[in-house]
Amino acid sequence: MKALILDKDKNNETVVLREDGEILTLDCQGSIGETIELDNKKKKEIAEYIKEVMFSCACFAIVILATASYKFYCRSPYTYVSLDINPSVEYTLNRQGKVIDVCALNADGKKVLKKYNKKCKKYCDFDDAINETTTILYKDKYIKRANNYILMNISSDNEKTISSLENRIEKIIKKKGDKTLNLFFTKTNKKVHEKAIKLGISPGRYVMMEDIYKDEVDNNGDIPYEEEKVKVCQNDSVFSLLASTGRITVEKDKDTENTNGDSKKEKTEDYFREKDYNKNVKEDKDIKNQDKVETQENIVDNDSQSVPNGENKAGRDNTDKNGKGAKPASKWTNKPGNNKTKEQGITEENTDNNKPSQNKDNAKPQAKIEESEQ
pLDDT given for residue 147 in this prediction: 86
Q: How confident is the model at residue 61 (pLDDT cuts 50, 70, 90)?
A: confident
> Which of 20-29, 222-231, 329-338 has the highest average model confidence (pLDDT)?
222-231
Of 91 and 17, the one with more pLDDT: 91
Q: How confident is the model at residue 22 (pLDDT cuts 50, 70, 90)?
A: confident
**What is d(CA 317, CA 141) in angstroms, rounded to the nearest whole number?**
76
| Closest by CA position to 97, among listed 14, 162, 171 | 162
- Mean pLDDT score, 83-99: 92
- Mean pLDDT score, 249-272: 51
The amino acid sitting at 37 is E
- Beta carbons within 10 angstroms of residue 203's beta carbon: 29
115-119, 144-148, 367-371: least confident range: 367-371
- Mean pLDDT score, 56-82: 83
| pLDDT score of 103 more than 90 | yes
Per the prediction, the chain carries an average pLDDT of: 75
| pLDDT score of 122 more than 80 | yes
Tell me the angle at which helices 190-199 and 203-212 cross, rounded to the nearest 10 degrees: 90
> Which of 28-32, 183-187, 249-253, 366-370 has the highest average model confidence (pLDDT)?
183-187
- Mean pLDDT score, 81-108: 93
- Mean pLDDT score, 121-126: 88
17-26, 97-106, 148-157, 173-182: least confident range: 17-26
**What is d(CA 154, CA 193) in angstroms, rounded to the nearest whole number?**
9
Q: What percent of the chain has pLDDT over 90?
A: 31
* Cβ-contact 23, 16 below 8 angstroms: yes
| pLDDT score of 256 more than 70 | no
- Mean pLDDT score, 22-48: 72
For residue 245, report the phi and psi dihedrals to the nearest 5 degrees. -90, 0
Taking only the tens place, the pLDDT of each residue in 188-224 is: 999 999 999 999 999 999 999 999 988 888 888 788 8
| pLDDT score of 356 more than 60 | no
34-43, 177-186, 283-292, 356-365: least confident range: 356-365
pLDDT given for residue 198 in this prediction: 92
Taking only the tens place, the pLDDT of each residue in 272-311 is: 555 565 666 666 667 767 777 777 767 766 666 555 544 4
How many separate helices (H) and strands (E) can be counted in the chain?
Answer: 11, 10
pLDDT given for residue 43 in this prediction: 63
**What is d(CA 283, CA 85) in angstroms, rounded to the nearest whole number?**
40
38-47, 105-114, 177-186, 264-273: least confident range: 264-273
| pLDDT score of 321 more than 60 | no
| pLDDT score of 237 more than 60 | yes
Helical segments of 71-199, H only: 107-119, 126-139, 159-176, 190-199
Of 365 and 77, the one with more pLDDT: 77
| pLDDT score of 51 more than 70 | yes
| pLDDT score of 98 more than 70 | yes
| pLDDT score of 338 more than 80 | no
> Which of 70-79, 97-106, 261-270 has the highest average model confidence (pLDDT)?
97-106
